[in-house]
């Protein structure tokens, strides 16, 4: 038996500050069409892919910060992407910065949407593990101000029945935390979709710079294997306004093996026919949670 779904991970090169939203949307539509021509039913785009990754810069003017956020989705500017997806019958997962009023308070989230092949929005994730710092660090070559610009996501880690399987999302730094995959795994997730903006440099710990690519793959491969799920990661890569970002977008099987990886630092599709039944040996067998997890023992303190 097999349950195949052909998926494209759509890596993107930099989004320059001067590139307009309609230009970026046109770029996404081009990638969607290319994926459709290759037989894909689902396309994964990167984190906050409608703009340059603004947490890399200290911006004092709130209206300038808010110009990077979307007030509605779809909006008049992003509607053509939804329309083209519906026409092509290709779904997508899109990372964007979301501004919303909740109980009279303005909130800002680092979000991603899951859109089915008929254009329906089926799911939303708001990033929980916001990296970086709140204060300006002028001594650093670039900033990591997600803790300053975003609120912590308030939607948990959910899964949705979509694309013939069980689909979950997380965003960038969420992928480094075992809890992310396990909470999704406990809900039976079969495909985890995530986008990232990962600088090649860690200003506070430069000794870790050579490990940036290794840690990217390590966290996704471990999450895939330990939870018997596909994990797909889409990078925004290249040199974006002076910040070098990791590429190596990849598609990881439930075995933990990398099945496809991007080779460039530009817009690039990697495509793979993902068999959701490859999850079975892990979910029903070797790593069957029901038969093997012993949560009641984890907290016990051994008496001498």
By the criterion CB under 6 A, which residues form the site for ligand CDV?
A: 47, 131-132, 144, 172-173, 176, 196-198
Q: Smallest distance from the beta carbon of 197 to ligand CDV, in angstroms?
A: 4
| Smaller CB separation from ligand CDV, 36 or 216 | 216
| Smaller CB separation from ligand CDV, 92 or 142 | 142
**Closest residue by Cα to residue 243 from 20, 24, 53:** 53
CA distance 161 to 258: 24
| Smaller CB separation from ligand CDV, 117 or 137 | 137
DSSP state of 224: H
Cβ 174 vs Cβ 128: under 8 Å = yes
Mark whether 127 is an active-site residue: yes
Query: What ranges make up the beta strands (E) of 81-201?
Result: 91-102, 105-115, 121-126, 159-162, 165-171, 191-196
Query: Three-class SS string for 70-92?
Result: ECCCCCCCCHHHHHHHHHHCCEE
Active-site hit among 172, 236, 240, 283: 172
CA distance 217 to 251: 10
Cβ 202 vs Cβ 157: under 8 Å = no
| Smaller CB separation from ligand CDV, 115 or 172 | 172
Mark whether 283 is an active-site residue: no
Active-site hit among 47, 70, 84, 98: 47
Mark whether 240 is an active-site residue: no
Q: Are strands 121-126 and 268-275 parallel, antiparallel or unpaired?
A: unpaired
Q: Smallest distance from the beta carbon of 157 to ligand CDV, in angstroms?
A: 16
Q: Smallest distance from the beta carbon of 134 to ligand CDV, in angstroms?
A: 14
Q: Smallest distance from the beta carbon of 54 to ligand CDV, in angstroms?
A: 11
Q: Which residues are catalytic?
A: 47, 127, 172
């Amino acid at each position: 038996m097999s349950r195949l779904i052909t998926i494209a991970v759509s890596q993107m090169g930099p989004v320059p500050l001067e590139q307009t939203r309609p230009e970026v949307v046109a770029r996404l539509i081009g990638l969607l069409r290319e994926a459709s021509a290759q037989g894909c039913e689902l396309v994964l785009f990167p984190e906050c892919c409608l703009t340059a990754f603004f947490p890399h810069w200290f911006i004092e003017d709130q209206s300038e910060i808010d110009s990077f956020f979307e007030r509605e989705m779809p909006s008049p500017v992003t509607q053509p992407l939804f329309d083209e997806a519906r026409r092509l019958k290709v779904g997508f997962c899109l990372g964007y910065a979301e501004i919303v009023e909740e109980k009279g308070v303005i909130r800002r989230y680092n979000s991603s949407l899951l859109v089915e092949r008929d254009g329906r929005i089926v799911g939303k994730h708001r990033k929980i593990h916001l990296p970086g710092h709140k204060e300006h660090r002028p001594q650093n070559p670039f900033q990591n101000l997600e803790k300053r610009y975003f609120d912590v996501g308030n939607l948990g880690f959910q899964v949705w029945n979509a694309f013939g399987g069980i689909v979950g999302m997380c965003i960038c730094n969420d992928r480094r935390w075992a809890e992310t995959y396990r909470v999704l795994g406990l809900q039976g997730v079969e495909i985890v979709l995530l986008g990232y903006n990962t600088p090649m440099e860690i200003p506070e710990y430069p000794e870790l710079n050579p490990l940036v690519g290794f840690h990217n793959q390590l966290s996704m491969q471990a999450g895939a294997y330990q939870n018997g799920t596909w994990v797909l990661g889409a990078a925004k890569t290249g040199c974006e306004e002076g910040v070098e970002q990791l590429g190596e977008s990849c598609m990881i099987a439930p075995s933990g093996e990398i099945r496809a990886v991007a080779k460039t630092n530009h817009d690039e599709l990697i495509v793979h026919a993902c068999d959701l039944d490859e999850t079975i040996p892990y979910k029903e067998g070797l790593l069957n949670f029901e038969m093997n997890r012993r949560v009641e023992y984890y907290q016990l303190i051994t008496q001498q």
